[in-house]
Every structure is written in C-alpha cells, then in structure tokens.
Structure 1
Amino acid sequence: MRLQNWSCAISGELLEQQLSIEDVIEEAYFSREAIDLLIKEEANYYELTIDDFYAIISSFHTTVEQAGQLLGLAYKKGHTKKRKYLIQKYGNCLPRC
C-alpha cells in the first residue's frame, strides 16, 4: 500500500511538472543504476556472499519493477483525467497525444 501511495503522489508531481512518461522512465532507470552501484559498494564493504548480494539486488529490482508499474498506471490515470477536464473546459480542439 505504501508503494501505491508513493506512486500516486509522485505521478501527481510529475503531471504538474508536465514531464513526459518517457522522461519519467528515463529518470527511474538512471536512479536504479545509481542505487545498484551503491548496493554493490556496500556488499563489497560488508563482504557479502554472492548469494546474499543476489538476494538483496533481486528484491530491489522486484520493488523497482512494481514501483515503475504503479507509477506508470497512476501517471496514465492522471493524464487521462487531466485531458478529460481540459476537453470539458475547452472543447474537443486539443491535439491528440
């Protein structure tokens, strides 16, 4: 539930900033790579076994995938809602996206 709440809050902020979904996805992948590197450095520092490292990184990637899916769905829902509002307000003269 926390992940779903997070995705709704973040998608609202992204919609306000008028970022494209492509920009959102690109930022998510950049963040993922940076966090992967931090996990690798910490694993080396604490001398984790390959199995321990794999368990941590697998869990992290699963969570990121879920967050990405929820964020995409929330963003799409918010975008559709915003577009319907604008169509009601300005008529059907808006360009298709």
Structure 2
Amino acid sequence: MPVSKKRKFERKTAKRYEFVKFESELFDGEFEFPKLDLAPLRVVEAMNTGEVQKVSQWLTEAGVDPEAIEAYRDLNRNELQDFINAWQDGQLASVPK
C-alpha cells in the first residue's frame, strides 16, 4: 500500500485586501480595516465564536495600525456589534495593487 505524502498548501502570492474607512460612535477618529467580506473563513469562524485573538491576528497580518487593533480589543460584547456594523458599512479606502 503506497504511503501518502504530506502536502503543505501555501499561497503562491501574498493575499491582498481592500480596506475600508469608517468611524465608530465609540471612538474619536477614523478606522481603516480590511473589508470584512474578504476575511478568511478562520476569521469568520472566530468572530462567530468570540475568539477575538484570531481576529486581532488577522488584522495585524493585514497591516492594520496596532493602536486601532487595541481599540477593537478593548470593546465589550455590547459594543462589539455596533462596531462591526460600522465596519461593514465602511467606505472603500484602498484597492490592492
């Protein structure tokens, strides 16, 4: 019986994201985050299960300002949904090159 080889799947090119700009009633200033529609499934799953650290990791990998990530991480459960709604309604800020 042949032994199967372990495969490691890697992207040929780095993933690029469109960014949106939005404001939240909870903070002064404007946020610039990757468009939520383009989030990897692992991030969508993490958002549905409350695993904030995975969302924060994705934001870091995408190049989001660390202070903006910390502001996101400081939200409580009651504030989170309003913030996410503002994020989803954000205006296109940049398109990947």
Question: Normalising by structure 1, what TM-score?
Answer: 0.30
Where is the strand percentage greater, Structure 1 or Structure 2?
Answer: 2
Structure of higher RCO (CA pairs closer than 8 Å, 6+ residues apart): 1
Where is the helix percentage greater, Structure 1 or Structure 2?
Answer: 1
